[in-house]
């Protein structure tokens, strides 16, 4: 029995062991198979999240709202939509704080790319809307570019269907080109194919962008695909794409040219999109052409042949002065233009030439404004180079604010170019230091008219900027004629700030002929500042021209006041009549009396009593009665 | 055959049950393949078309303590020379590289940037210029040629000024006068940003008559950022006032827009009111969309210019409005003209020029609108200009007086349109009812080397599939 029980127990033990074994086998096989064949249940730990321990670990909490921006950007892989919106706002604040400087632009764009990489992983459309919600237009454009690049790498079709949400032609174009580039990176053929559906208006732009992106990977194939369309529908985008690629990666282009000479020799005319030309790219293109062809001239010759265009000003392959001279030589050899520019082709050639001359002159002025002016002065009169002289002179003045004005002004004033430049330089001299410019007029080789005009400008500037200095200068230079208007303006301006000094100057230093007029100017200010004191002063003045000039000022001021109010008119106008009667000059007196009577009529103040005033002279009465 | 025992079934069930559990556990333990490569993966051969790789690389570089040539070369291998992606990452690499090994960054990093990321050079020059251990002489020697040179020089000047490198001013011997002025100005601007009295002292100590005003301007520009109101008042007589005003308002508006607007409003009768208005409009345009800021701007400008805005101001605002939305620009001109008839307002010429560049079909429609209104004269096929240079330099008002739109305007439109969509341009210009002079002009522009430079055979090839009228016109002009 015991033996039987023992056997039963052993059997049970074995059965249990067997079951454990079966469970273990099942578990092992399940685990092994699962590791190889199962679909993961847990979302991948993104490289951006890092993994492992520390703040970048996938379960680490998000940095708080006030954390440094870079810390928040580093945690972008763990963020959801809401957190990403917050981060975008933080980026906008940072951008505003930095003032949108070029240095800030690099870092901001980098951060935007990181942010939108995560956001478009989650939801592309929401990411796009987030970018569109930005207030700053430059930041919004950058965000749109970043969003479209990242979304295009993930789902170009969906991204292309949302382009209509973007308002603004230029913003949309920038977003479209970013999207096309990203799409071509994923799949060149699909990327190129989808350009046709994105916007018929920008088809050429998109095809050339796609082509340039594709060419950086496989130019021969890209060229073949682009030129599938017959005629200019194929060759134009291909030509633009080739030019864009050359600008973006000249070394890559040259390598392809050597690797596939057959394709390179049969390529369509190259064209250079203006939106891809930048100082950095041009500098690199120049270096690459010089390296490839020995000299820049050799490179330029190849480029001209490849583009089929006689001039490529935007690329500026020659030194500015050489380019300018080459343009004039080429223009001299152009057979087409007649002497008279008329509509159609001739006019087109003339306008192109004019634009080229303008651009070359300004470019030359950037590096050597003196040479630019000299070159302009050497051009034939029919080119009308004097029209460009002011712009060139301004560039020179900006580069050498102290020495340029003198050099320009003292140059050959007979040449219309130099004359036009001298006008600008003279203004600059006066603006910088009117007193100094007055003193330097004699040393400059100016013709009489130009010297007078420079002096007049200097006097006028000095009168408004430093009236006391001008008045001192006039005292010190009694033989130098100064425009009366400038002296009057200076006296008036000085009276406003230092009345006694102005009064003293007029009484003691002013030229006798101008004294009365200047006194009137000072009295006007006195009257405005303190009427009672002014009237007291008037009483103290001895009879004479100055007194009468002051009286006239008072009369005019009183009439002005009377005209605004009937009450004032009734009191003031009879007094005005009394004052007018005191004027000694017949013409002035009659004029003043007429004005008073006219004003009385206007303000309905009875004037009959005035006309029978005992002091009114018979001749004046007759004239006034005749008028009324 | 004996049936399976219940114990056997249970065992089998156990195998399956635990097998399933194991599978689930494995699936749980197994994570999805990492899409973004781990940090160490900035390596040649990893394709750049993988989504998220750029962000991963950027985060890796930003998190690193240092960088060197290897990082740059790896990026170059992945992103390719001259690409904008490389340029962005190159700046980040150079920041780390300069911080950890400035000499190495100068000797190995700068040439790499020159060769592969030229757009990053100004920033790299600034980074290197701010390091005290890098002498300015070596950076001057490494300056690129034109047209990038000036931008780099300006960045270098400001950075070395910020770093208080006084010896930099003595290194300007090899520069042209214009470059020297630029460098001195930017150096003092950078110096003044950190220590204004020192910058002013340095400016006063300069002996060269051109250097001194340039240095003073640099100090003023730096001060314009911190104390805009005082600087604007004291520099009102300067010729470079517009530049100072732009700098002042750019930061002032971002910091305290209320004070900036009040200041501008208080200058109603000031001689510089136009410059002030231009500066404030420009700064606002950089900060916000113009159509958004228009209500506030209209109030301010209405107070400053009760009659009508100056031409310079409308010339700035119309292109910005048109870039946002063509209708906004048209509405703005209507407001300025005081009536829906915008044809007699100079702004219409500005709008036309803008549309030529951004939306040629809209420019074509605008030209049609201008000539089709009642009483209007169609001068599109002729012009009154006797000199191309005068026409090129003419103001919008002068163009309006000479008859807008005229042949030159249409020729400009043709040139722009042919660049972006030649078939549409030729079809529009050669459509029925258009003056034959304009038809001839568009085809000549398409063929001319000064125009679109399209080979005659290619144009003919395209024309074969077009209506007979276009085909015939092209055939007649090409002579084939």
How confident is the model at residue B40, as a pLDDT?
44
Question: Bridge partners of B31?
Answer: A42
Q: How far apart are alpha carbons B286 and A571 in whole angstroms?
A: 59
CB atoms within 10 A of CB A434: 25
Q: Does A66 touch chain B (CB under 8 A)?
A: no
- A617 in reach of chain B (CB within 8 A): no
* List of chain B residues whose C-beta atoms are within 8 Å of the C-beta of residue A96: 254, 287
| Cβ–Cβ below 8 Å for B14 and A23 | yes
Q: Does A158 touch chain B (CB under 8 A)?
A: no
Q: Closest-CA residue in chain A for B215? A: A401
CA distance B321 to chain A (A): 9
Q: Which residue has the higher pLDDT, A14 or B224?
A: B224
Phi, psi of B418 (to 5 degrees): -65, -25
A358 touching chain B per CB within 8 A: yes
Work out the minimum CA distance from A622 to partner chain B, whole angstroms. 46
Residues of chain B contacting residue A70, judged by C-beta atoms under 8 Å apart = 62
User: Which residue on chain A is closest to B241 by alpha carbon?
Assistant: A431
Q: How does DSSP classify residue A270?
A: P
Contact flag A235-B455 (C-beta cutoff 8 Å): yes
- CA–CA dist B317, B329 (Å, integer): 8
Give the pLDDT confidence of A121-173 residue by residue, as tens digits: 888 888 899 998 888 888 898 999 999 999 988 888 888 888 888 887 788 88
pLDDT, tens digit, 9 for 90 and up, residues A452-472: 777 888 888 888 888 888 888
CA atoms of A261 and B350, how far apart (whole Å):
46
Location of structure tokens 């960088």: B67
Contact B462 A232 (CB under 8 A): yes
Among the partner-chain residues A44, A216, A344, the one whose CB lies closest to the CB of B444 is: A344
A341 at the B interface (CB within 8 A)?
A: yes
The mean pLDDT of B124-146, rounded to a whole number, is: 88
Chain B residues with CB under 8 Å of A43 CB are 31-32
Structure tokens at A173: 């174009």
Nearest to A153 among B49, B239, B411 (CB): B49
In the structure encoding, which two tokens stand for residue A577, read together? 């009549």
Q: What is the mean pLDDT of residues A37-45?
A: 58
Residue A342, pLDDT score: 53
Could you tell me if A619 lies within 8 Å of chain B, comparing CB atoms?
no
CA closest to A25 among chain B residues:
B15
Quick check: helix, strand or coil at residue A384?
Answer: coil
Token pair in block for residue A377? 């002065």
**Range scoring the smallest mean pLDDT among A572-576, B59-63, B198-202, B267-271:** B267-271
Size of interface A-B (CB pairs under 8 A): 380
The pLDDT of residue B153 is: 92
**A415 in Cβ contact with A377 (< 8 Å):** yes
Q: Do B55 and A113 touch (CB under 8 A)?
A: yes
Cβ contacts of A353 on chain B, cutoff 8 Å:
388
Check residue B152 and give its pLDDT.
92
Measuring CA to CA, which residue among A568, A567, A569 is closest to residue A595?
Answer: A569
CB A519 within 8 A of CB A492: no
Is residue B349 within 8 Å of B400, Cβ to Cβ?
Answer: yes
* Gap from A551 CA to chain B (nearest CA, Å): 31
What local confidence, expressed as pLDDT, does residue A78 receive? 82
Percent of chain B at pLDDT > 70 equals 94
Nearest chain A Cα distance for residue B444, angstroms = 6
With a cut of 60, say whether residue A54 has pLDDT above it: no
Is pLDDT at A48 greater than 50 in this prediction? no
Percent over 90 (pLDDT), chain A? 4
Token digits of residue B130: 């701010």
Check if A279 contacts B (Cβ < 8 Å): yes
Handedness of CA B180, B185, B188, B194 (dihedral sign): negative
Compute the distance between CA of residue B248 and CA of residue A260 in angstroms, rounded to an integer.
Answer: 55
In whole angstroms, give the CA distance from residue A499 to residue A385.
50
Q: How high does pLDDT run on average in chain A? A: 81
Asked if A573 and A562 count as a contact pair (C-beta separation under 8 A), the reply is yes
DSSP assignment of A506-568? HHHTS-HHHHHHHHHHHHHHHHHH-HHHHHHHHHHSPSSHHHHHHHHHHHHHHHHHHHH-HHH
The pLDDT assigned to A268 comes to 87
Q: What is the DSSP letter of A316?
A: -
Measured between CA atoms, the residue of chain A closest to residue B414 is A348
Q: Is A42 helix (H, G, I), strand (E, B) or coil?
A: strand
The pLDDT, as a whole number, for residue A22 is 83
d(Cα B70, Cα B62) in Å, to the nearest integer? 15
Q: Given pLDDT bands bounded at 50, 70 and 90, which one contains residue A345?
A: low
Cα B239 to chain centroid distance, Å, stands at 26
Q: Does the pLDDT at position B125 exceed 60?
A: yes
- Min Cα separation B287/chain A (Å): 5
Partners of residue B389 in chain A, C-beta under 8 Å: 354, 357-358, 383-384, 387-388
Partners of B88 on chain A (C-beta within 8 Å) are: 106, 109-110, 113
Nearest-by-Cβ selection for A44 from B32, B393, B460: B32
B62/A73 touch (CB, cutoff 8 Å), yes or no? yes
- A400 contacts on B by Cβ (under 8 Å): 177-178, 181, 210
Q: Highest mean pLDDT: which of A328-332, B36-40, B189-193, B334-338?
A: B189-193
Mean pLDDT of the region A536-558: 81
Contact between chains at A348 and B451 (C-beta distance less than 8 A) = yes
Residue scoring higher pLDDT (A86 or A607) = A86
**Burial bucket for residue B34 (CB in 10 Å: 0-12, 13-18, 19+):** middle
In the predicted model, is pLDDT for residue B383 greater than 70? yes
Using DSSP's 3-state secondary structure scheme, residue A268 falls into coil
Q: Return the bridge partners of A42, or none.
A: B31
Q: Where is average pLDDT lowest: A207-211, A269-273, A424-428, B440-444?
A: A424-428
For A352-366, A558-572, B35-49, B131-145, which range has the lowest pLDDT when averaged over its residues?
A: B35-49
Nearest chain B Cα distance for residue A220, angstroms: 17
Assign A624 a pLDDT band (cuts: 50, 70, 90): confident
Strand, helix or coil at A335? Answer: coil
Most A-contacting residue of B417, B450, B466, B474 (CB-CB within 10 A), to test interface: B450
* CA distances from residue A562 to A531, A593, B39, B132, B407 in whole angstroms, order as listed: 15, 15, 88, 74, 59
Kind and range of the H or E element at A432?
helix A416-432
Mean pLDDT of chain B: 84
- Determine the pLDDT at residue B43: 47
CA gap B248, B225 in Å, rounded: 5
Residue of A nearest to B453 (CA): A309
CA neighbor of A162 nearest in space, from A112, A118, A198, A210:
A198
- Give residues 76 to 105 of A whose Cβ lies within 8 Å of B: 76, 96-97, 99-100, 102-103
Question: Which chain B residues have a beta carbon less than 8 Å from that of A45?
Answer: 31, 34
Helix H, strand E, coil C: the string for chain B is CCCCCHHHHHHHHHHHHHHHHHHHHHHHHCECCCCCCCHHHCCCCCCCCCCCHHHHHHHHHHHCCCCCHHHHHHHHHHHCCCCHHHHHHHHHHHHHHHHHCHHHHHHHHHHHHHHHCHHHHHHHHHHHHCCCCCCHHHHHHCCCCCCCHHHHHHHHHHHHHHCCCHHHHHHCCCCCHHHHHHHHHHHHHHHHHHCHHHHHHHHHHCCCCCHHHHHHHHHHHHHHHHCHHHHHHHCCCCCCHHHHHHHHHHHHHHHHHHHHHHHHHCCCCCCCHHHHHHHHHHHHHHHCCHHHHHHHHHHHHHHHCCCCCCHHHHHHHHHHHHHHCHHHHHHHHHHHHCCCCCCCCCHHHHHHHHHHHHCHHHHHHHHHHHHHCCCCCCCCCCCCCCCHHHHHHCCHHHHHHCCCCCHHHHHHHHHHHHHHCHHHHHHHHCCCCCCHHHHHHHHHHHHCCCCCCCCHHHHHHHHCCCCHHHHHHHHHHHCC
Distance from CA of B126 to the nearest CA of A (A): 9
Phi and psi angles of residue B31, each rounded to the nearest 5 degrees, phi first: -95, 155
CA dist B5 and A111 (Å) reads 67
The confidence band for B122, taking pLDDT boundaries of 50, 70 and 90, is: very high
Mean pLDDT, range B404-422, rounded to an integer: 89
pLDDT at B121 over 60: yes
Instruction: Name the band, by pLDDT with cuts 50, 70 and 90, for residue A60.
Output: low
Does B80 contact A249 at a Cβ distance shorter than 8 Å?
yes
> Do A110 and B58 lie within an 8 Å CB cutoff?
yes
For chain B, give the percent of residues with pLDDT over 90.
16
Residue A207 contacts B, CB cutoff 8 Å = no
Nearest to B389 among A202, A271, A354 (CB): A354
**Cα A361 off chain centre by:** 21
Residue A129: how many other CB atoms lie within 10 Å: 14
Q: Identify whether the C-beta of residue A408 lies closer than 8 Å to the C-beta of residue A394.
A: no
pLDDT value for B47? 60
Closest Cα in chain B to A109: B88
Buried b (16+ CB within 10 A) or exposed e, B130-144: bbeebbbeebbebbb
- Give the angle subtended at the CA of B423 by the CAs of B421 and B424, to the nearest 5°: 70
For residues A202 and B420, the answer to whether their CB atoms sit within 8 Å is yes
The whole-number pLDDT of residue A483 equals: 80
Residues A258-284 pLDDT 10s: 888 888 888 888 888 888 888 888 888
pLDDT digits (tens, 9 = 90+) for A314-324: 677 777 888 88
Q: How confident is the model at residue B385 (pLDDT cuts 50, 70, 90)?
A: confident
Q: Are A209 and A177 in contact (CB under 8 A)?
A: yes
Interface with A, mutate which of B65, B82, B255 (most A CBs under 10 A): B82
User: Which two tokens mark A186?
Assistant: 């994923």
Distance CA A522, CA A496 (A): 9
Average pLDDT over residues A196-225: 84
Range from A99-108, B95-104, B299-308 that averages highest in pLDDT: B95-104
Q: Which residues of A touch B421 (CB under 8 A)?
A: 201, 203-204
**Chain B residue nearest residue A357, CA to CA:** B389
Residue B245 CA to chain centroid, in angstroms? 21
Interhelix angle B196-205/B177-194, rounded to 10 degrees, is 150
Where is mean pLDDT largest: B27-36, B71-80, B302-311?
A: B71-80
Q: Which of residues 583-602 of A touch B (CB under 8 A)?
A: none
Least confident of A68-72, A235-239, A400-404: A400-404
Which residue of B385, B388, B414 to mutate against A (max A Cβ within 10 Å)?
Answer: B388
Find, in chain B, the residue whose alpha carbon is nearest to that of A156.
Answer: B51
* More confident site: B167 or A100: B167
> Are A399 and B177 within 8 A, CB to CB?
yes
Q: For B95, which residue in chain A has the nearest alpha carbon? A: A107
* Shortest CA gap A464–chain B (Å): 10
Selection from A593, A510, A512, A517 nearest residue A548 by Cα: A517
Closest chain A residue to B91, measured at CA? A106
């Amino acid at each position: 029995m015991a033996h039987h029980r023992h056997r039963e127990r052993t059997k049970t033990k074995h059965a249990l062991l067997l079951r454990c074994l079966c469970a273990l086998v099942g578990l092992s096989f399940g685990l092994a198979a699962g590791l190889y064949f199962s679909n993961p249940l847990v979302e991948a730990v993104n490289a951006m999240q890092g993994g492992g321990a520390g703040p970048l670990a996938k379960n680490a909490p998000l940095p708080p709202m006030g954390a440094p921006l870079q810390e928040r950007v580093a945690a972008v892989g763990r963020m959801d939509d809401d957190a990403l919106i917050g981060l975008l706002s933080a980026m906008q604040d940072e951008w505003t704080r930095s003032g949108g400087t070029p240095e800030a632009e690099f870092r901001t764009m980098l951060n935007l790319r990181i942010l939108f990489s995560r956001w478009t992983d989650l939801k592309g459309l929401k990411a796009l809307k987030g970018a569109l919600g930005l207030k700053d237009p430059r930041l919004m454009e950058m965000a749109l570019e970043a969003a479209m690049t990242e979304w295009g790498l993930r789902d170009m079709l969906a991204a292309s269907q949302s382009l209509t949400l973007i308002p603004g032609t230029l913003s949309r174009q920038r977003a479209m080109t970013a999207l096309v580039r990203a799409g071509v990176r994923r799949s060149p053929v699909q990327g190129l194919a989808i350009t046709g559906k994105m916007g018929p208006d920008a088809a050429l732009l998109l095809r050339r962008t796609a082509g340039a992106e594709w060419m950086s990977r496989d130019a021969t194939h890209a060229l073949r695909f682009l030129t599938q369309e017959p005629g200019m529908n194929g060759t134009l985008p291909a030509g633009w794409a080739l030019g864009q690629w050359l600008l973006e990666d000249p070394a890559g282009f040259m390598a392809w040219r050597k690797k596939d000479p057959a394709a390179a020799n049969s390529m369509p005319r190259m064209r250079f999109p203006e939106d891809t030309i930048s100082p950095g790219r041009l500098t690199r293109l120049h270096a690459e052409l010089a390296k490839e062809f020995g000299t820049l001239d050799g490179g330029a010759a190849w480029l001209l042949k490849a583009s089929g265009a006689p001039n490529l000003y935007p690329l500026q392959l020659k030194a500015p002065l050489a380019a300018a001279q080459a343009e004039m030589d080429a223009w001299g050899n152009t057979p087409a233009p007649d002497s008279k520019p008329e509509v159609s082709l001739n006019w087109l050639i003339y306008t192109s030439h004019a634009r080229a001359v303008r651009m070359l002159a300004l470019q030359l002025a950037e590096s050597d404004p003196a040479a630019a002016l000299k070159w302009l002065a050497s051009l034939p009169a029919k080119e009308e180079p004097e029209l460009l002289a002011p712009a060139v002179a301004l560039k020179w003045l900006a580069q050498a604010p102290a020495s340029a004005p003198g050099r320009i002004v003292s140059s050959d004033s007979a040449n219309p170019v130099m004359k036009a430049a001298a006008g600008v330089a003279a203004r600059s001299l006066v603006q910088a230091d009117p007193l100094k410019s007055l003193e330097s007029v004699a040393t400059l080789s100016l013709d009489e008219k130009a010297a007078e005009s420079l002096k007049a400008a200097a006097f006028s500037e000095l009168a408004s900027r430093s009236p006391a200095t001008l008045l001192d200068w006039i005292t010190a230079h009694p033989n130098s004629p100064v425009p009366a208007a400038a002296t009057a303006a200076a006296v008036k301006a000085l009276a406003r700030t230092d009345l006694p000094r102005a009064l003293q100057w007029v009484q003691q230093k002013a030229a006798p002929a101008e004294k009365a007029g200047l006194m009137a100017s000072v009295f006007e200010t006195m009257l405005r500042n303190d009427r009672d004191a002014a009237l007291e002063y008037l009483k103290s003045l001895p009879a004479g021209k100055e007194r009468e000039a002051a009286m006239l000022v008072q009369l005019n001021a009183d009439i002005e006041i009377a005209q605004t109010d009937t009450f004032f008119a009734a009191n003031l106008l009879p007094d005005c009549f009394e004052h007018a009667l005191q004027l000694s000059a017949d013409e002035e007196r009659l004029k003043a009396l007429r004005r008073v009577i006219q004003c009385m009529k206007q303000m309905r103040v009875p004037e009959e009593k005035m006309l029978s005033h005992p002091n009114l002279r018979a001749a004046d009465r007759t004239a006034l009665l005749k008028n009324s | 055959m004996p049936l399976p025992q219940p114990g056997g079934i249970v065992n089998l069930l156990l195998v399956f049950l635990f097998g399933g559990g194991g599978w689930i556990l494995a699936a749980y333990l197994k994570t999805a393949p990492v899409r973004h490569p781990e940090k160490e993966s900035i390596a040649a051969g990893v394709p750049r078309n993988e989504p998220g790789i750029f962000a991963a690389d950027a985060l890796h570089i930003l998190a690193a303590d240092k960088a060197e040539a290897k990082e740059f070369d790896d990026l170059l291998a992945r992103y390719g020379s001259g690409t904008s992606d490389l340029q962005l990452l190159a700046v980040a690499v150079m920041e780390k590289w300069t911080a950890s090994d400035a000499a190495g960054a100068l000797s190995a990093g700068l040439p790499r940037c020159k060769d592969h990321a030229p757009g990053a050079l100004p920033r790299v020059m600034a980074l290197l210029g701010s390091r005290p251990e890098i002498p300015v002489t070596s950076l001057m020697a490494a300056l690129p040629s034109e047209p990038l040179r000036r931008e780099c020089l300006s960045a270098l000047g400001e950075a070395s000024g910020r770093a208080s490198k006084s010896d930099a001013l003595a290194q300007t011997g090899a520069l042209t006068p214009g470059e020297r002025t630029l460098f001195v100005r930017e150096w003092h601007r950078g110096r003044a940003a950190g220590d204004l009295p020192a910058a002013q002292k340095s400016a006063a100590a300069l002996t060269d008559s051109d250097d001194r005003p340039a240095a003073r301007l640099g100090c003023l520009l730096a001060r314009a950022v911190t104390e805009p109101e005082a600087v604007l008042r004291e520099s009102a007589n300067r010729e470079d006032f517009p530049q100072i005003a732009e700098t002042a308002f750019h930061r002032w508006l971002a910091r305290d827009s209320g004070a900036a607007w009040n200041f501008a409003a208080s200058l109603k009768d000031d001689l510089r009111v136009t410059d002030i208005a231009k500066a404030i409009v420009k700064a606002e345009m950089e900060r916000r969309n113009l159509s958004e800021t228009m209500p506030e701007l209209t109030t301010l400008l209405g107070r400053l210019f009760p009659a009508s805005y100056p031409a310079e101001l409308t010339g700035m605002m119309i292109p910005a409005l048109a870039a946002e939305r063509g209708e906004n620009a048209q509405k703005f001109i209507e407001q300025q003209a005081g009536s829906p008839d915008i044809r007699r307002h100079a702004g219409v010429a500005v709008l036309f020029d803008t549309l030529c560049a951004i939306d040629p079909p809209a420019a074509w429609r605008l030209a049609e609108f201008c000539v089709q209104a009642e009483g209007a004269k169609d001068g599109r096929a002729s012009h009154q200009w006797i000199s191309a240079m005068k026409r090129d330099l003419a103001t919008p008002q002068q163009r309006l007086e000479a008859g807008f739109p005229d042949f030159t305007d249409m020729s400009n439109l043709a040139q722009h349109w042919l660049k972006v969509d030649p078939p549409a341009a030729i079809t529009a210009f050669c459509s029925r009812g258009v003056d034959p002079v304009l038809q001839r002009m568009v085809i000549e522009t398409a063929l001319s080397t000064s125009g679109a430079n399209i080979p005659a055979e290619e144009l003919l090839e395209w024309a074969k599939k077009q209506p007979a009228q276009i085909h015939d016109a092209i055939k007649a002009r090409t002579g084939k």
